[in-house]
Amino acid sequence: MITALRGMKDIMPQKSGLYEQIIGVCEAVAKNYGYTLIKTPHLEQTTLFKRSVGESSDIVGKEMYQFIDKGENDVCLRPEGTAGVVRAFIESKLDRAGGVYRYFYHGSMFRYERPQKGRLREFHQFGVECFGESDVREDASVILMIAEILNRLQIKTTLKINSLGDADSMGLYRQKLVKFLEQNEAFICDDCKRRKALNPIRVLDCKNESCQEIYKNAPLMIENLGDEAAADFAKLQEILAKNGVSYEIDARLVRGLDYYCKTAFEFVSDEIGSQSAVAGGGRYDRLVEYLGGKASFGVGFAMGIERIMEILGERESKNARDGVYLCALDEQNVDFVFDLGIKLRKNFKTQISYKAKKLAKHLQDADKINTKIFLCIGENERKNGEIWYKNLENKDEKTIKIDEIFKIESL
């Protein structure tokens, strides 16, 4: 048997309704916030992610699905959505046009991580990116957007926020942190030594407990914010409080990607085990320029759809029946049923059986695919211009006139 690759999962019809429901809620909320769909390729030049997500990140360091294609191009399956959207924004010259642009996207992301509960190698994100807006009200808006999505889905989470400072304050802070790391070089792991050279602030994100012990005494960005970053962080908190969104300040929240500045945040759930982040994001004001565009502000988030599905899994109406199953008992009625089904399909989800079978067998088949309304015709019904009807949800059954089956919704 050929199986799916490790860490890659099918979303079968029992779950796909839930997937659609979550994306539907995300889209509706994002549109209310002024965001429009953007679709970018799954495959991009490897350099794009190296430069944006950053060499110090685990994603680039260890988890890229990277290969050389038949044209000798170094390419990579996207590990996240922001980089591709930024590339598309620059390539469309919108960075030069000025103005504010708001995009949302959803689809597969790929990270060669060690698979475990809540951690897949191909997973789905819903995300948004806003370009050209420096106002912290947009940072607050993207957080409020997630809060609204989670609220509509009735999911409880904890919001953690931090400020990574602006370019100036980050520079000064880096120096302090590097000094601290040099003093403690002997006690930190090899990954942190690498991070120290590439992006020191990422050491605070280290999963190694002995490193975390050391970092308890490390200087924190939040204590070193410049005036502007401090004022924005205060305003962000004010807006969240005013809108009833509770939050915790987590001064060690640095996020797993290198491109952030100022606002960084994560929504975590205690319902799904160790991989508890359901959404994360923040501001990335230098990324557009860094990828070769004209300096433009950026802020956004992404949400892990499988993690949301995991939380909602138990609540999902697994056996929600819908649609019509239309079938015949005798071979000579199959064409009649097919023609009728084609008409029904103009208004109803209709599964047509092309084979004449016994009633019990048809009922079994309809049940397997969770149909709600079962319509079956035999020789007698055909003669009388009638069809046998059964609602498989409430078990109602009767015979109805064939001309009336177009009213099935009210049956």
Please say whether the beta carbons of 299 and 139 come within 8 A. yes
According to DSSP, the β-strands at 74-77 and 43-45 are antiparallel
Nearer to ligand HAM, 200 or 300 (CB): 300
Of 125-133, 156-164, 211-219, 341-349, which part binds ligand HAM (CB under 6 A)?
Answer: 125-133
- List the alpha helices (DSSP H) in 273-358: 287-290, 305-312, 334-344
* CA gap 371, 363 in Å, rounded: 10
Minimum separation from the CB atom of position 230 to ligand HAM (A): 22
* CA gap 142, 148 in Å, rounded: 10
Minimum separation from the CB atom of position 121 to ligand HAM (A): 7
Nearer to ligand HAM, 66 or 391 (CB): 66
Minimum separation from the CB atom of position 163 to ligand HAM (A): 15
Minimum separation from the CB atom of position 291 to ligand HAM (A): 14
The H or E element containing residue 388 is: strand 386-391
| Binder among 46, 56, 82, 350 for ligand HAM (CB under 6 A) | 82
Q: Which of 207, 199, 19, 4 is nearest to 115 (CA)?
A: 4
| Binder among 165, 293, 300, 341 for ligand HAM (CB under 6 A) | 300
| Binder among 279, 288, 376, 392 for ligand HAM (CB under 6 A) | 279
Q: Applying CB under 6 A, does 103 fall inside the site for ligand HAM? A: no
Nearer to ligand HAM, 257 or 327 (CB): 257
Of 91-99, 180-188, 226-234, 304-312, which part binds ligand HAM (CB under 6 A)?
Answer: 304-312
Of 179-187, 193-201, 243-251, 280-288, which part binds ligand HAM (CB under 6 A)?
Answer: 280-288
Minimum separation from the CB atom of position 356 to ligand HAM (A): 46
Q: Applying CB under 6 A, does 235 fall inside the site for ligand HAM? A: no
In the chain, DSSP finds a helix count (H) and a strand count (E) of: 15, 16
Nearer to ligand HAM, 119 or 361 (CB): 119
In 284-322, which positions are buried (b, 16+ CB within 10 angstroms) versus exposed (e)? bbbbbebbebeebbbbbbbbbbbbbbbbbeeeeeeeebe
Instruction: Please give the structure tokens belonging to residue 251.
Output: 């001064």
According to DSSP, the β-strands at 122-131 and 101-110 are antiparallel
Beta strands in 88-215 (DSSP E): 101-110, 122-131, 158-163
Nearer to ligand HAM, 233 or 284 (CB): 284
* CA gap 399, 3 in Å, rounded: 45
| Binder among 127, 165, 293, 341 for ligand HAM (CB under 6 A) | 127
* CA gap 398, 404 in Å, rounded: 12
Q: Which residue has the tokens 């990335």?
A: 284
* Contact flags string 18-57 toward ligand HAM, x per CB under 6 A: ----------------------------------------
Nearer to ligand HAM, 121 or 382 (CB): 121
Total binding residues for ligand HAM by CB under 6 A? 25
Nearer to ligand HAM, 49 or 348 (CB): 49
Please say whether the beta carbons of 152 and 335 come within 8 A. no
| Binder among 55, 113, 228, 250 for ligand HAM (CB under 6 A) | 113
What one-letter code names the amino acid at 136?
Answer: V
Minimum separation from the CB atom of position 89 to ligand HAM (A): 12
Please say whether the beta carbons of 411 and 403 come within 8 A. no
Minimum separation from the CB atom of position 268 to ligand HAM (A): 8
Minimum separation from the CB atom of position 23 to ligand HAM (A): 14
C-alpha radius of gyration, the chain, whole number: 27
Of 92-100, 124-132, 166-174, 200-208, which part binds ligand HAM (CB under 6 A)?
Answer: 124-132
Is the CA virtual torsion 253, 256, 258, 264 positive or negative? Answer: negative
CA 361 to chain centre: 40
According to DSSP, the β-strands at 350-352 and 373-377 are unpaired
Residue 301: CA atoms inside 13 Å, Cβ hemisphere, count? 29
For ligand HAM, the binding residues (CB under 6 A) are 80-82, 111, 113, 119-120, 123, 125, 127, 129, 256-257, 277-282, 300-302, 304, 306-307
